[in-house]
Amino acid sequence: MIRPRTKSPVAPARRTDHGSTGTGLALMILAMALLPVGDTLAKLLTQALPPAEVVLWRFAFQSTILLLLAGILRHRLRGAMFSPILMLSGLCAVVTMGGLVGALAVMPIATAIAIFFVEPLILVLLAAPLLGEKVGPRRYAAVAVGFVGVLVVIRPGFEGFTPAALLPLASATGFALNAVILRRASATRSALTIQTGATLYAALIAMTLFGAGWLLGLHALNVPTAPGWVWGMLPLVGAVSAGTFLLIAEAFRRSEAGLLAPFQYLEIVGAVALGYLVFGDLPDAATALGMAIILGSGAYVVHRERVAARQGDASDRALAPQA
């Protein structure tokens, strides 16, 4: 993700704990292995439940697990758990999860995740107006190339196009907005506080939206009549989601964001593998080309952010008073 620029002319030198950094990398790799597992479970659940209900129960179990962890790890809580900024984060989480689960219900996992990986490019577009960060022409060019890749995957106006292909784009936009919000929230809150509070809000918002749809006759509550395997899988998908996001938060606590960012692309490897092993899905040639363009442009954005971060650190050291 894009690293905020420091406004102070003096930045203290950061000491690197190589053991902690290695642990952070290991946690990130584990998290990226778990993410497509959660998506696969969600796709399986959409065979028995509508996407809206999968989202509802996923947040319900995820928030329950996080509340239990917050009770056990009370010493890791810092800052307000209930506040407008975390409510907004919860709303973005519902948009993110709703769009992704809706897409998984009708398209291969790898295709949905490939489109979702436009998120770093959307974050570049949001950085200047919402974070006041300076974005150079190279990164804007990478964003343009990445969206060409999205068009190759979605293929609007061609046979086989479905409006559902826009759902991962909505999900990616929600995730990018949430990243901006969480940068603000993390200044005064711990990762466990943020994840627990935002997930509780997300569960309440999902419950409200699902209840409104039920009252309007748009859908029914299907869990009571669902097959037995659904009851076992619902808490599992909640546990995988909670564990994944806590692993990511702990990874970023231990290691620098620029070091961890490239490992996010391991998720697409797991998505392709599980999509084939569980559902027999493999991307066609056009989808594979679009995926390569999206991932390549996203990787370039990550590279440019790391270069900008190193230049910023060098400038801070040059401006720092000499002992």
Query: 301 pLDDT exceeds 90?
Result: no
pLDDT tens for 81-118 read 999 999 999 999 999 999 999 999 998 898 888 888 88
pLDDT on residue 286: 84
pLDDT on residue 250: 80
Q: Over the chain, what is the mean pLDDT?
A: 82
Residues 6+ apart with CB under 8 A from 83: 185, 197
Residue 279 burial (10 A CB sphere; 0-12, 13-18, 19+): middle
pLDDT tens for 221-262 read 898 888 989 999 999 999 998 888 888 878 877 776 666 767
pLDDT on residue 88: 95
Nearest to 264 by CA among 290, 239, 299, 240: 299
The string of DSSP codes covering 94-111 is HHHHHHHHHHHTTS-HHH
Quote the percentage of the chain above a pLDDT of 70.
85
CA distance 306 to 1: 9
Q: For the chain, how big is the Rg over CA atoms in Å?
A: 20
pLDDT on residue 114: 84
pLDDT on residue 158: 58
Query: 313 pLDDT exceeds 80?
Result: no
pLDDT on residue 87: 96
Query: 76 pLDDT exceeds 60?
Result: yes
Residue type, 134: K
Q: How would you classify residue 177: left for phi > 0, otherwise alpha for psi between -120 and 50, otherwise beta?
A: alpha
Nearest to 187 by CA among 80, 264, 294: 80
pTM above 0.85, yes or no: no
pLDDT tens for 141-193 read 888 888 888 888 877 655 556 778 889 999 999 988 988 888 788 888 888 89
Quote the percentage of the chain above a pLDDT of 90.
36
pLDDT on residue 13: 38
Does residue 26 or residue 161 have the better pLDDT?
A: 26
**Section 277-298 average pLDDT:** 87
**What residues does each domain of the chain span?**
18-134+163-281
